Amino acid sequence: METYLVDWISLIVRWLHVITGIAWIGASFYFMWLDNSLEEPPQWKKDKGIKGDLWAVHGGGIYEVAKYHGAPEKMPEHLHWFKWEAYSTWLTGMVLLAVIYYLGAESYLIDRRVADLSQWQAIGLGLTFLAGSWIAYTALCISPLAKNGWLLAVVLLILGGFVAWGLSQLFSGRGAYIHFGAIIGTIMVGNVFQVIMPGQRKLVGALEAGETPNPEWGARAKLRSTHNTYLTLPLLFIMISNHYPMTYGHAFNWAILLAIVVITAVSRQYFVLRHVNINRPAILGAAMAATVVLAIAIAPKPVVISENGLAANDLAPRAHGIIRERCSSCHAAVPTDDVFTTPPGGVMLDTVEQMQQWSPRIKARSIDSHDMPFMNKTGMTDVERGVVAQWINAGSPAS
C-alpha cells in the first residue's frame, strides 16, 4: 500500500511539474522571440518613448505589443510579472526528486556496482552537488569572465563535464542524469530569483521614482536570461532521458550527456538567430550530423557468447528459465518485487509467448545496455545475458 501511495504522489507531482514546466519554457521562448522580433516603430511612437513594437494575430484577434526605452507616460496599475512559472517548476521538480530518488534511493539512485553508498550519503552528495554547482556558477558570472560570453561558456562547459563525470562515479546512470538536470534547473530558477526578478524590481522602482535605471541591472538580467534560454533544450532532454538507457546506461554516460548538452544548445542557437531573421540551416545540419555520429559511436557492440555447447533444443528452455528468474519478479501480471506494484511499462514476461513478443526490448534493455534487470537487483550474470542473446539471435524459438 505504501508503494501504491508513493506512485500516486509521483504521478500528481510529475503532472504538475510538466504543466508548470510548459508554462515556464513557453514564456521564456515567447519573450526571447518577442525581444528579438520587435520592429522600429513610427516616429509618433518614438516620441512617446517606445523603443520597438510588434503586431501579431492569434485566436481571432489582433495584438499590439510595445517595448519602452524607459517608463511609459503613466505606469500601469497592473504590471504582470513572470516568475511563478519558474518557481513552481523548480519546486515540483524538487519534490519529484525527493519522492523518487531520495525516498527511493535504494531503488533509483544508488547503484552498488558504481558506489556503495547509504541512503543518507547519496542524498547528502546529491544536495551538495546542487548547492555547490549554483555557488560556482554564480561566482563565475560575477567574475571578469562574464565580460566574455564565449569564454564563460567554454569554462562552464568544462566544469559541467567534471560535474557530469563526478555524478556518474557516485550514482546510477539515471540518477546521475537527473541530478545534472536538477543542477541546470536550479541554476535557471536561481537566475530568475536572485538576478532577473531583483533587477526588474529595481528597474520598475527607479522608473516610478522618475530616476534613470542603472544599466548594469539590465546587463546582468540579460546575461542570465541568455544562459537560461540555451539551457532549456538540454534540460528537456534530461527530463525524458530515463526512457533511453542507451544514453545513461553506457559506460561513458557522462560524455554522452555532455555531447547532448552541446548538440541541443547549438540547436537552440538556430532558433535564436531566426528571431532576428538570420537563417542558418547549417547549424541544424551540424547538430543533426553530430547526433548521427554520437548514435554510431555508442551503438551496442555484438554480444560475445560466454556459454557454449548448448544444444538447439536446450537453448530455449535455458533462456526462458533465465528470464523467469531474473526478470519476472517485476515484469509479471502480479509482480513480487518490493518496488513495483504493476509491471513497468506494461511489459509482462509470464509466458513464452510474452517473452517472444518483448524479445526486441529484452535485447535493448538487458543485452545491449545492461539497464535491466533494474539495478541488476536479481543478479543477472554476463553468461546469462549471453544465453538470452543467443536465444534472441536464433529467432526467439519457443522450444
The 10s digit of each residue's pLDDT in 280-301 is 999 999 999 999 999 999 988 7
pLDDT of residue 210: 80
Distance of alpha carbon 90 from alpha carbon 106, whole angstroms: 24
- Rg of the chain on CA atoms, in Å: 26
Location of C-alpha cell 518490493 = 338
Residues ≥6 apart with Cβ < 8 Å to 228: 28, 188, 191, 192
Of 20-34, 190-204, 361-375, the one with minimum mean pLDDT is 361-375
Residues ≥6 apart with Cβ < 8 Å to 14: 96
pLDDT of residue 1: 54
Read off the pLDDT band of 32 (50, 70, 90). confident
Distance of alpha carbon 61 from alpha carbon 56, whole angstroms: 8
Kindly state the helix (H) or strand (E) to which residue 340 belongs, with its residue range.
none
pLDDT of residue 2: 67
- As a whole number, mean pLDDT of residues 151-176 equals 94
User: Given phi > 0 = left and psi -120 to 50 = alpha, else beta, which region is 186?
Assistant: alpha
SS3 state of residue 50: strand
pLDDT of residue 374: 81
Look up the pTM and report it. 0.85
Residues ≥6 apart with Cβ < 8 Å to 254: 161, 164, 165, 167, 168, 176
Residues ≥6 apart with Cβ < 8 Å to 138: 190, 194
On the 0-12 / 13-18 / 19+ scale of CB atoms within 10 A, 275 is: middle
Query: Measured in whole angstroms, how far is the alpha carbon of residue 209 from the centre of its chain?
Result: 42
Closest CA to 229 of 268, 189, 283, 267: 268
E strands, 290-352, are none
User: Mean pLDDT for the chain?
Assistant: 88
Of 40-44, 110-114, 129-133, 341-345, the one with minimum mean pLDDT is 341-345
Q: Could you tell me the sign of the dihedral formed by the alpha carbons of 190, 192, 195, 201, in that order?
A: negative
pLDDT of residue 304: 57
Q: Could you tell me the sign of the dihedral formed by the alpha carbons of 260, 262, 265, 271, in that order?
A: negative
169 and 175 Cβ atoms separated by less than 8 Å: no
- As a whole number, mean pLDDT of residues 296-313 equals 68
Q: At 132, list the grid cell.
A: 555547490
